[in-house]
Structure formats: C-alpha cells, structure tokens
C-alpha cells in the first residue's frame, strides 16, 4: 500500500512523499523539515543539529509559527496519511510550489521537478473544479 492524493497530485510511498516535502522545504528556503515541529525526532536532535546549525538544541523542534508563513505551510505542516487540503487554498499552494522550480536551484533534480509539476497540476485542477485534495 502507499499514499494516494486525489486529482493525481501524488501516488507512491510515504517515504517518497516525505522526501519530496523535505525537498520542497529546502528549495523554498525553510529550515530543514526534520527539525520542524511534527517531524523532529527528539532522539536524533543531538546528532543532526550540529554546531554549524543556526538552530540550537534548545530551539528544537522549531515551531511552525517561528517560520515566516507562506501557503506552503498548509502542505508541509500536514499529515502524510489523512485529511484534506481545501480547494480554496490549492491555487496559492500551487503558485508557491511553482516558485521552487527555478532552474539551477533544484540542482538538476529531475524527480523533484516532475513530482512538483504533477502536484501543481493537481492542485490547479482541484481549485478549478472546487474540490478538495483528499489524502488516502
């Protein structure tokens, strides 16, 4: 089994989806998503947040309200196994995702480019049809 999102946004493993979201966060200028609230594994804090990190162990996990809000929060700070993204916000998320597809900044990551393009198409389709993106 795996993860399925309606409107052909995504179909694959949970691991692939979460790796894609890590890349979205990276290319959009977010802190490493594995340090964010809801992702941060307290057992790994001491090993993954080295001394060169701008985030100290005392800051972790990073609360979402400490990061400048963009519509990508609605995608990144969302369950990976259930729920929905409301159709009213789909276009704004798609527009933000589109900004992460700048040539050269994705370092030739063809899989990221393809998955992101597919997700953007699905988000815009959902907005046009006024249907939510459902997670299954």
pLDDT tens digits along 34-65: 999 988 776 555 555 455 556 667 778 999 99
Note whether 129 and 75 are same-domain residues: yes
Note whether 101 and 119 are same-domain residues: yes
End-of-domain residue from the set 41, 66, 91: 66
End-of-domain residue from the set 20, 47, 66: 66
pTM of the model: 0.86
Asked whether 28 and 14 are in contact (CB, 8 A), the reply is no
Asked whether 5 and 29 are in contact (CB, 8 A), the reply is no
Note whether 80 and 113 are same-domain residues: yes
Q: Residue 42 to residues 23, 48, 49, 128: CA-CA distances in angstroms?
A: 21, 10, 11, 41
Selection from 14, 55, 19, 65 nearest residue 35 by Cα? 55
pLDDT at 89 over 90: yes
Note whether 99 and 54 are same-domain residues: no
Task: State the pLDDT at residue 125.
Answer: 98
Q: β-strand 10-12 against 133-134: which pairing, if any? A: unpaired
Residue span of the structural domain in which 109 resides = 3-30+70-134
Task: State the pLDDT at residue 114.
Answer: 94
Other C-beta atoms within 10 Å of 121: how many? 14
pLDDT at 130 over 90: yes
Structural domain tally of the chain? 2
Give the pLDDT mean for 69-86: 95
Task: State the pLDDT at residue 26.
Answer: 92
Residue 107 makes CB contacts below 8 A (sequence gap 6+) with none
Indicate the pLDDT class of residue 91, thresholds 50, 70 and 90.
very high
pLDDT at 27 over 50: yes
Note whether 50 and 117 are same-domain residues: no
E strand intervals along 1-136: 3-5, 10-12, 84-85, 133-134
Task: State the pLDDT at residue 49.
Answer: 47
Q: β-strand 10-12 against 3-5: which pairing, if any? A: antiparallel
Determine the Cα–Cα distance for residues 133 and 44; give it in Å rounded to an integer: 32
Give the pLDDT mean for 113-131: 97
Higher pLDDT: 34 or 105? It is: 34
């Amino acid at each position: 089994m795996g993860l399925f999102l309606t409107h052909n946004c995504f179909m694959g493993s949970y691991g692939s989806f979460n790796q894609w979201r890590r890349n979205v966060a990276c290319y959009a200028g977010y802190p490493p998503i594995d340090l964010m609230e809801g992702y941060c594994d307290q057992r790994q804090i001491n090993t993954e947040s080295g001394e060169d990190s701008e985030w100290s162990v005392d800051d972790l996990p990073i609360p979402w309200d400490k990061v400048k809000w963009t519509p990508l929060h609605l995608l990144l700070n969302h369950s990976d196994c259930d729920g929905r993204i409301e159709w009213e916000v789909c276009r704004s998320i798609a527009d933000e995702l589109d900004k992460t597809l700048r040539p050269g900044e994705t370092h030739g990551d063809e899989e990221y480019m393809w998955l992101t393009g597919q997700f953007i198409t699905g988000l815009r389709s959902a907005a046009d049809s006024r249907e939510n993106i459902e997670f299954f």
